[in-house]
Amino acid sequence: MKAFTYERAPSVEAAVKAAASNPDAKFIAGGTNLLDLMKLEIEHPTHLIDVNGLGLDKIDPTPDGGLRIGALVRNTALAADERVRRDYGLLSRALVAGASGQLRNKATTAGNLLQRTRCPYFYDPNQPCNKRQPGSGCSAIGGFTRQHAVVGTSDACIATHPSDMAIAMRALDAVVETVKSDGTTRAIPIADFHRLPGETPHIETVLEAGEFITTVVLPPPVGGRHIYRKVRDRASYAFALVSVAAVIHPDGTGSIALGGVAHKPWRIENADRELKNGAKAAAAVLMADARPTAQNRFKVDLVERTLGAVIAEARG
């Protein structure tokens, strides 16, 4: 691990100010992904700003009946929150499906959104990887691609987004609230928060340098059946081959987002409208521009079958 300096930020203002004064600084909270990446020297911040003491670990109701989740709420606390379990069941289920209990106890809401791909080539410094080293090439293209993306890919990167929580938040239309280094704030719909790889797969979100996530807001509960179904190679400690986060109403309408298939949580609103016509119709919209490899072509069929299982479960 490369040497770095460390400070504990006493306030959000101080945290963003510290980040603004050092472009090589990173915020750290749970550190469940960042520390691994630092040990492998894939990430090498020269300075860490510890934000654990900022008090952003509360879940509060919003005036319109939604929930405002502090950036530092641990995944365990969020999954167990009575209001989340009652009104946003797919979020609770996605969190529990996302990692071991030990990891969930440390990992935070903001950190979960910002975790980086688990593409094995990204973690191997001996292999070219445009995400780790822009312009070096993509070892996955032409390599082992069973886990990789089938939609929204580019010639520069075919990695998937690893979070389960973010997939559920995408189906729920969450909004990410931030503070920039100049003190201004903004609210970013989660649909716009993560980026597709394009020519710059190393830029994964729309966050600016030093911009800090303070909260994630869930809109008021929408009712319906909440289902999170994750298909993976083994029952635990595995990332999704395909996951479906779904809210489905008794009349067959709803919202769906997919994990394991793209560089960001994958949702196409037109597919929501096809839900009433069944899994085949919705999957056809979601997978319309799929560019699978020979090794991950199965994901296109798996999306339809997993959606079918989710719809059947919703109908009881």
Decide whether 115 or 214 has the Cβ nearer to ligand SF4: 115
Sheet-wide strand order for 59-61? 59-61, 67-70, 212-218, 175-179, 185-189
Decide whether 88 or 121 has the Cβ nearer to ligand SF4: 121
Q: Which of 295, 309, 297 is nearest to 145 (CA)?
A: 295
239: contact with ligand SF4 by CB under 6 A: no
66: contact with ligand SF4 by CB under 6 A: no
158: contact with ligand SF4 by CB under 6 A: yes
* CB atoms closer than 10 angstroms to residue 107: 25
Measured from the CB of residue 196, what is the shortest distance to ligand SF4 in angstroms?
12
- CA 212 to chain CA centroid, Å, is 16
Angle at 118 between CA 113 and CA 124, to 5 degrees: 135
170: contact with ligand SF4 by CB under 6 A: no
Please give the structure tokens belonging to residue 227. Answer: 């289902």
Q: How far apart are CA 78 and CA 104, in angstroms?
A: 9
Q: How far apart are CA 21 and CA 179, in angstroms?
A: 15
194 DSSP 8-state letter: B
For ligand SF4, the binding residue among 26, 131, 230, 299 (CB under 6 A) is 131
Please choose, out of 78-86, 113-121, 171-179, 285-293, the segment that lies near ligand SF4 by the rule CB under 6 A: 113-121
150: contact with ligand SF4 by CB under 6 A: no
For ligand SF4, the binding residue among 27, 88, 121, 193 (CB under 6 A) is 121
Q: How far apart are CA 250 and CA 237, in angstroms?
A: 33
For ligand SF4, the binding residue among 12, 29, 159, 310 (CB under 6 A) is 159
Measured from the CB of residue 131, what is the shortest distance to ligand SF4 in angstroms?
4
Q: What Cα–Cα distance (Å) separates residue 116 from each residue in 100, 205, 307?
A: 17, 11, 26
140: contact with ligand SF4 by CB under 6 A: yes
For ligand SF4, the binding residue among 129, 174, 175, 307 (CB under 6 A) is 129
122: contact with ligand SF4 by CB under 6 A: yes
Q: List residues binding ligand SF4 (CB under 6 A).
A: 117, 119, 121-122, 129-131, 138-140, 157-159, 201
